[in-house]
Chains A and B, each alone.
Chain A
Amino acid sequence: MAKAILFDATKCVGCRLCEVACAERNHLPYDETIATEEQLSAYKVTAVQTCGAHFVRRLCMHCLEPTCASVCPVGALYKSELGPVVYAPERCIGCRYCMLACPFQVPAYEWNSRLPRVKKCDMCVDRLQQGELTACAQACPTEATTCGDRDALIAEARRRVTESPDQYYQHIYGLEQVGGTSVLFLSPVPFEQLGMRAHLPQQALPILTWRALAHIPDIVLVGSVLLGGVWWITHRRDEVAAAERALKEKEKKQ
């Protein structure tokens, strides 16, 4: 079963215990200064952002068809069976195409390291494998972040939205965005107000480049035949001309 995370902004009180648990699990530094930074970075793979009266978490969305995995030239990012999009630092060459391509602007880079890596949430893949919850879901005191099977979480999200229509903006973010994500969001206000991209296409992005890449065999085949054909014709002309000239010279001599 594919795992997922459901974040419900109506329940989040902004205590940042998820940030603390995440930093601990990922062996990243955490102190009062870092706590005030509300952006994702190489040392902060989840961040709680204050948006007016509401709080929202930022973390890797773990897309069902991840753009980052599709653009990585060396396959350093991949979607695991359990749901998390996982990074293999030993393969990464540091081209940073994943960062450019990510529709949610998630991957961060260790800019100041001489042996830099990409940093992003891996949905505690090792914990999930052992049947545990993600560190953030385990730490959340208000059940704003919950973790479980994606289908069950979607059903739960639908239930909340329909049962309390006055509390929720009528949309589950992550159900359809770029083909669906493994991190789902509920909100009391439209998602733009939480600083989230509202106008993302429903279709997964990798098809955009794949459409171009799929033409490669045609270009190679048609191109070779075409170029070879033109070459044959243009040189045949020379050969014929040379043969005719030789013939004429022979006639002259005779």
Chain B
Amino acid sequence: MSPALRFPRWTFWQWVFALVMLGGIYAAFVRYTRGLGGSTALSDLFPWGLWIGFDVLCGVGLAAGGFTLATVVYIFNLDRYKPVLRPAILTAFLGYLLVILALLFDLGRPERIWHALVMWNPHSVMFEVAWCVMLYTTVLALEFSPVIFERFGWHTPLRWIRAVSIPLVIAGVILSTLHQSSLGSLYLIVPHKLHPLWYSPLLPVFFFISAIAVGFAMTIFESYHSAKAFGKRLPMPLLASMGRVLAVVLLVYLVLRGQDLWRLGALAHLAEGRPETYLFSLEIIFMLAAMLLLFQRGTRTSQTRLYFAALLYIFGFITNRLNVSITGMEAASGTHYLPRWTEVMVTLAIVALGFAIFRFAVKHLPIFVEEKPTARLEAELAPVKG
């Protein structure tokens, strides 16, 4: 019994994390030794699978809190949202790093990821995506850097970064707008392949609006979990008002989607009893339920109900991205795609890594900070005035 006692006491989730990471490392080994053919269910008929559909499309979307909250706090000058800004920036920064990690799995020649820097094709949406990823990750690193500088008390770089904070935020918002919408634009080129329930000339607009919404939903999600994990008080009035904004954005999104489906005459497909119909309905039901709940005052003022509603929308968002990238592309491809265990394992490991790094950062860096707003505001304004 005595050796067992000396073994570090791991919590349930630490065990889960260790197992998932081990699985992920093995899956990575399989991916790089056997190539994409030996590690994925992808084929000539179905060249994009889970790694693009979830890791990239959802990963970038779930990172949207970084630019929505930066807009609210810096551009609209709503200082009271500051407590949730840093966690949102951290989520976004982590999200983008993990998207790049996922790309290193999905690209056939990952060691050439830098090619887009020097080999240009401005007619390609993928080229735009590549540049947005590179530039916005840089912006996020800079937006996140004050946390590191504060932690180690480096005052000079802190002054520098504050001096450029507003141009930086504006650049970040524009890059995000371009990037979120361009992920939808990727599918504009396949009108003959993507199912009419999802294909629309407005795809980039839909991707952008749903990303704004998921930015708020993710902020509610991570605030709730961080509060639970670290015994912190939830800034409920803030989260409640974000819940209301989320409801309004969802209303706009759903009305636009419905109107667009009507205009393109795609609603007739709802009468067909096909997988596309069911998965489309699932996506819409998630979003509709989240919206209806969030329009009720009772949902917004209750921690768990607000969290549950945000989670419902996050599910709806993920379903939408997977529907566009997988469900909607299957019929025309003439094949069936079901991800292999390696694809699932890598995805799980990347998600687990995200949770672990977030937790580590919150523990060791000033992410959730209580501060005097006026002093902070002056510090922020000083370099701009001078």
Contact = CB atoms under 8 A, between A and B. Distances in A.
B75 A200 contact: no
Given A40-B44, A97-B186, A219-B174, A197 B192 contact: yes
Given A40-B44, A71-B126, A212-B204, A101 B190 contact: yes
B48 A70 contact: no
Interface in A70-122: 70-76, 91-97, 99-101, 103, 105, 107-109, 111-117
A227 B107 CA distance: 35
Nearest to B202: A212
Contacts of A237: 77
A139 B48 CA distance: 36
A198 to B, nearest CB: 11
Contact of A96 (B48, B166, B191): B48
Contact of A223 (B35, B173, B329): B173
B120 A75 contact: yes
Contacts of B112: 74, 92-94
Contact of A212 (B37, B110, B185): B185
A91 B96 CA distance: 24
A235 B79 CA distance: 11
Contacts of A71: 124-126, 189
A73 B116 contact: yes
A236 B106 CA distance: 47
B101 interface: no
B35 A114 contact: yes
B123 A105 contact: no
A69 to B, nearest CB: 8
A213 interface: yes
Contact of B170 (A76, A216, A227): A227
B80 to A, nearest CB: 13
A157 B67 CA distance: 57
Interface residues of B, number: 63
Given A74-B115, A208-B191, A227 B71 contact: yes
B13 interface: no
A39 to B, nearest CB: 8
A210 B107 CA distance: 24
Contact of A74 (B119, B128, B193): B119
B204 A41 contact: no
Interface residues of A, number: 60
Contact of A75 (B32, B119, B125): B119
A90 B193 CA distance: 29
A97 B52 CA distance: 11
A99 B36 contact: no
B126 A72 contact: yes
Given A71-B126, A216-B178, A227-B173, A111 B121 contact: no
B122 A208 contact: no
B42, B110, B174, B204: residue with the most chain A Cβ atoms closer than 10 Å: B174
A28 interface: no
Chain B: interface secondary structure?
Answer: helix
Contacts of B127: 73-74
A213 B189 contact: no
A230 B74 CA distance: 10
A237 B79 CA distance: 13
Contacts of A115: 109
Contacts of B177: 219, 223
A29 interface: no
A205 B38 contact: no
A238 B77 contact: yes
Interface string B370-386: 00000001000100100
Contacts of A39: 44
Contact of B174 (A95, A211, A227, A238): A227
Interface in A38-69: 39-42, 67
A206 B170 contact: no
Interface string B27-69: 0000011111110001111011000000000000000000000
Contact of B42 (A92, A105, A111): A111
Contact of B76 (A92, A224, A230): A230
A235 B381 contact: yes
Contact of B121 (A72, A92, A212, A228): A72
B173 A73 contact: no
B77 A101 contact: no
A1 interface: no
Contacts of B181: 212
A74 B115 CA distance: 7
A74 B116 contact: yes
Given A74-B120, A211-B188, A212-B185, 18 more contacts: A73-B116, A73-B127, A74-B127, A75-B121, A93-B110, A94-B107, A94-B112, A96-B47, A100-B190, A105-B44, A105-B333, A108-B44, A112-B34, A114-B33, A208-B188, A223-B170, A235-B77, A239-B381
23 contacts: A41-B44, A71-B125, A71-B126, A72-B126, A73-B124, A73-B127, A74-B116, A74-B127, A92-B112, A93-B116, A96-B47, A97-B186, A103-B192, A105-B333, A114-B32, A114-B34, A201-B191, A212-B188, A212-B204, A227-B71, A227-B173, A231-B74, A234-B77
